[in-house]
Amino acid sequence: MNPDNLPLIRVAIIDDQQMFLDGISSLLSACRELEVTATALSGDQALELFRQDCPHIALLDLSMPGRDGMEVLADFGEQLPDLKVIMLTVHDDFPSIQECMNRGAMGYVLKIYGKDELLHAIQEVAGGRRYLDPKALGIVLETKTPASAPKTGKSFSGSNQNLLSAREREVLALISEGKTSEHIADLLFLSTNTIDTHRKNIISKLGARNVTDAVRLALQNGLI
């Protein structure tokens, strides 16, 4: 148990570079909220380990020899449905982000970021929330062409322009800037739980798949 007497978040790391595995494992092992339970150099090795002792969260590289991260992600979804996966990768293109999230990834973090961003992603995903790092979120929001970011078909007009309350629009605008629930709570002098409730209500009202989809819909329809 950690000093706050809370259950540790059990994390595993899958990457084909041993030096990277060792470095991230050492980095995360220093975080009192986490326990690194396994490292693996391939998806097959990870599956074998996880069947015996499944972690809460797996950090998965996208580019690996043999079966890549996309294929491994699909295997996890079929064989380990309770496992939450965060892609930890160098790929900063929209198709990669979109495909990973569509295949069930709960998070997407680029390797350009440091420990704090990765730790925040792990905490968000452990809480059941999807997470894109600031650059990945920016890429998703900036990609609006029909070929690369198909619309959901939902649009808002007339009285629906008032679908979101003023506070919900304010919260969504701050989310679109990449701010976390904790940061938004500080800015608006509200609790983090209140911000998380606003996030859920926004997603529900807009009929969005997740908060990233809600931001895209709101931007496309002039709601923020």
Q: Which domains does the chain have, with CATH numbers?
A: 9-142 (3.40.50.2300), 158-220 (1.10.10.10)
pTM beyond 0.85: no
> What share of the chain has pLDDT > 90, as a percent?
40
**Bigger pLDDT: 86 vs 64:** 86
pLDDT at 146 over 50: no
Cα–Cα distance measured from residue 196 to residue 201, given in angstroms and rounded to the nearest whole number: 9
pLDDT class for 162, splitting at 50, 70, 90? low
pLDDT tens, 31-50?
Answer: 999 999 999 999 999 999 99
pLDDT-derived band of residue 8, with 50, 70 and 90 as boundaries? very high
Report, as an integer, the average pLDDT of 2-25: 87
Whether 108 contacts 80, CB under 8 Å: no
Q: Are 83 and 50 in contact (CB under 8 A)?
A: yes
- Alpha helices by DSSP H, listed for the chain, are 18-29, 43-52, 69-79, 94-102, 115-126, 134-142, 166-176, 181-188, 192-206, 211-220
- Among the residue ranges 18-27, 188-197, 215-224, the one predicted with the least confidence is 215-224
Is the pLDDT at 117 greater than 60, yes or no?
Answer: yes
pLDDT exceeds cutoff 80 at 4: no
Q: For position 173, what pLDDT does the model report?
A: 85
